[in-house]
């Protein structure tokens, strides 16, 4: 029986040489995400992987349904597997914001789902590091969030030679749009949205087509390109850049107005992290969405907010390409050799005592030849082997240095910890 198309199995190392994923690599990435969030005092939250469909259509309109993994449940409810975390966050924040001192900094590591027309190798789920700051409208919050993004990527060993944050602003484009006027027959809001969509696709759509679309909105490609090339920071962007400079992180960001982000709900600063060699899709992206909590709460709660998402798939591809993934060994501390079955009970006691002291311990469940046991200890890259020599002494061998010592069982713990 096969798993569903577009879903992943995560296997223990060493991996079979087929289309499966490493559970250890996934856990490595999650642990780093949690560790850097901890340093920044971001608190973990989570919601259900399933939400009412309207949680997502409220925000993005019915057009999003085409990409959603949605279905009707046994009770006749319209359900969607969450395609992104922000609506859940907005729902949760709005429900209990009074409990938390503003601004609050939250993160989650949700599994997200989509159901598009199946393309070969295209995944229908991924995991995402989501970090958000709720309740602060000043650029100091944007800088704190972008610093978290930079440090998260650096924690994997990536450097400025590997990635760059392209920083932009919907406000800058909004001002550009309003200063130039718009096609008179369109409502300004919908024209602005169309305009943002054209900018979002600048790098992916032929210049001629873009020029036509801009023309219909009353703009020329030349003036758009001129605005991009000017790269003149708005006061909010200038403020963020100065804040990051104080932290020593100035080099990790550049103003780049080609970034505008596709999603409709962004309101201010937007940004994306890219690999410098341009081989991969965006590593992460985010921005301000100051109106979303109000929208999601039916007007009851009005809180400015901003956040980013970083997926596990592009990150893993990048880390693999840059050879930054560690070897995922068993991390075994001791392999207990049982060469004489009469020592099995005493060996089991030793296993138990070492595990109780915090060591990772393995042994052969069944009688096995000494050389087979030792080979297994080596395969598992155990730090030590230990063997009961009689009921009161253990021979301990450091598999790296090959040093041996004969000890009382109670003394082994000390050796492990240095």
For residues 262-291, which are near a copy of itself according to CB under 8 A?
none
Size of the site for a copy of itself (CB under 8 A): 98
Output 167 or 350, the one with its CB closest to a copy of itself: 350
Q: Alpha-carbon distance 218 to 177, whole Å?
A: 10
Is residue 340 part of the contact set for a copy of itself (CB under 8 A)? no
> Which residue, chain included where needed, has tokens 């780093």?
32
Please report which helix (H) or strand (E) contains residue 105, including its range: strand 104-108
Q: Exposed, middle or buried: residue 186 (CB in 10 Å: 0-12, 13-18, 19+)?
A: middle
Q: Say if residues 42 and 105 touch (Cβ distance below 8 Å).
A: yes
Q: Alpha-carbon distance 248 to 288, whole Å?
A: 23
Q: Which residues contact 38 (CB under 8 A, 6 or more apart)?
A: none
Pairing of strands 361-363, 43-44: unpaired
CA proximity to 221, closest of 263, 258, 264: 258
Q: Which member of 76, 121, 184, 248 binds a copy of itself (CB under 8 A)?
A: 248
> Which residue, chain included where needed, has tokens 């598992």?
380
CB atoms < 10 A from the CB of 156, how many?
20
Least distance in angstroms from the C-beta of 111 to a copy of itself: 7
Output 141 or 314, the one with its CB closest to a copy of itself: 141
Q: Which member of 310, 314, 351, 386 binds a copy of itself (CB under 8 A)?
A: 351
Residue 347 in tokens: 């060996």
| Residue-wise burial string across 80-113, b where 16 or more C-beta atoms lie within 10 A, e elsewhere | bbbbbbbbbbbbbbbeebeeeeebbbbbbbbebb
Tell me which stretch binds a copy of itself (CB under 8 A): 20-28, 202-210, 269-277, 282-290: 20-28
Q: Which member of 161, 179, 189, 246 binds a copy of itself (CB under 8 A)?
A: 246
CA proximity to 228, closest of 273, 168, 183: 168
Please report which helix (H) or strand (E) contains residue 393, including its range: strand 393-398
Least distance in angstroms from the C-beta of 221 to a copy of itself: 38
φ/ψ of 79, rounded to 5, equals -120, 150
Please report which helix (H) or strand (E) contains residue 243, including its range: helix 235-246
Is residue 294 part of the contact set for a copy of itself (CB under 8 A)? no
Output 247 or 258, the one with its CB closest to a copy of itself: 247
Q: Which of residues 115-174 bind a copy of itself (CB under 8 A)?
A: 115, 118, 125, 136, 138, 140-141, 144, 147, 151
Pattern 215-244, binding to a copy of itself, x per CB under 8 A? ----------------------------x-
Least distance in angstroms from the C-beta of 203 to a copy of itself: 31
Q: Which member of 188, 235, 345, 370 binds a copy of itself (CB under 8 A)?
A: 345
Output 220 or 356, the one with its CB closest to a copy of itself: 356
Output 88 or 210, the one with its CB closest to a copy of itself: 88
Output 7 or 193, the one with its CB closest to a copy of itself: 7
Pattern 353-392, binding to a copy of itself, x per CB under 8 A? --xx-xxxxx--xx---------x--xx------------
Q: Which of residues 60-99 bind a copy of itself (CB under 8 A)?
A: 69-75, 77, 79, 81, 91-92, 95-96, 98-99
Q: Alpha-carbon distance 104 to 44, whole Å?
A: 11
Please report which helix (H) or strand (E) contains residue 337, including its range: strand 334-337
Q: Which member of 180, 186, 294, 344 binds a copy of itself (CB under 8 A)?
A: 344
Please report which helix (H) or strand (E) contains residue 84, including its range: none
Q: Which member of 60, 225, 291, 330 binds a copy of itself (CB under 8 A)?
A: 330
Using alpha carbons only, give the angle 363, 369, 375 rounded to the nearest 5 degrees: 60
Is residue 303 part of the contact set for a copy of itself (CB under 8 A)? no
Output 5 or 215, the one with its CB closest to a copy of itself: 5
Output 147 or 224, the one with its CB closest to a copy of itself: 147
Q: Which member of 32, 180, 247, 381 binds a copy of itself (CB under 8 A)?
A: 247
CA proximity to 67, closest of 48, 77, 53: 53
Output 106 or 156, the one with its CB closest to a copy of itself: 106
Q: Which of residues 173-212 bind a copy of itself (CB under 8 A)?
A: none
Least distance in angstroms from the C-beta of 413 to a copy of itself: 13
């Amino acid at each position: 029986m096969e798993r569903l198309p577009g879903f992943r199995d995560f296997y223990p190392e060493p991996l079979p040489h087929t289309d499966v994923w490493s559970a250890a690599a996934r856990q490595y990435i999650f642990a780093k995400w949690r560790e850097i969030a901890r340093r920044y005092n971001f608190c973990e939250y989570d919601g259900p992987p399933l939400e009412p469909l309207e949680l997502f259509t409220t925000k993005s309109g019915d057009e999003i349904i085409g990409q959603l993994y949605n279905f009707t449940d046994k009770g006749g409810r319209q359900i969607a597997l969450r395609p992104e975390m922000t609506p859940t966050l907005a729902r949760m924040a709005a429900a209990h914001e009074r409990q938390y001192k503003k601004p609050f900094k939250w993160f989650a590591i949700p599994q997200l789902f989509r159901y598009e027309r199946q393309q070969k190798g295209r995944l229908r789920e991924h995991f995402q590091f989501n970090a958000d700051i709720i309740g602060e409208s000043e650029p100091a919050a944007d800088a704190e969030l972008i610093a978290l993004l930079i440090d998260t990527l650096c924690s994997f060993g990536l450097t400025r030679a590997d990635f760059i944050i392209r920083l932009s602003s919907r406000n800058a484009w909004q001002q550009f749009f309003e200063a130039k006027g718009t096609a008179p027959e369109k409502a300004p809001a919908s024209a602005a949205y169309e305009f943002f969509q054209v900018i979002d696709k600048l790098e992916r759509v032929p210049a001629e087509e873009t020029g036509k679309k801009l023309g219909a909105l009353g703009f020329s490609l030349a003036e758009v390109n001129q605005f991009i090339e000017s790269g003149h920071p708005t006061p909010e962007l200038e403020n963020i850049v100065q804040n990051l400079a104080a932290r020593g992180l100035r080099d990790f960001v550049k103003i780049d107005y080609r970034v505008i982000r596709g999603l409709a709900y962004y309101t201010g600063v937007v940004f994306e992290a890219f690999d410098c060699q341009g081989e991969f899709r965006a590593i992460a992206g985010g921005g301000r969405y100051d109106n979303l909590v109000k929208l999601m709460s039916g007007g009851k709660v009005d809180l400015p907010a901003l956040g980013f998402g970083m997926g596990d798939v592009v990150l893993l591809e990048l880390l693999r390409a840059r050879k930054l993934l560690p070897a995922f060994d068993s991390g075994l501390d001791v392999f207990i050799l049982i060469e004489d079955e009469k020592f099995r009970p005493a060996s089991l006691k030793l296993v138990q005592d070492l595990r109780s002291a915090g060591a990772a311990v393995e042994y052969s469940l069944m009688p096995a030849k000494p050389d087979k046991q030792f080979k297994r200890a080596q395969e598992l890259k155990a730090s030590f082997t230990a063997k009961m020599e009689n009921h009161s002494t253990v021979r301990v061998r450091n598999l790296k240095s090959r040093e041996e010592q004969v000890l009382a069982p109670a003394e082994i713990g000390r050796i492990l910890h240095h």
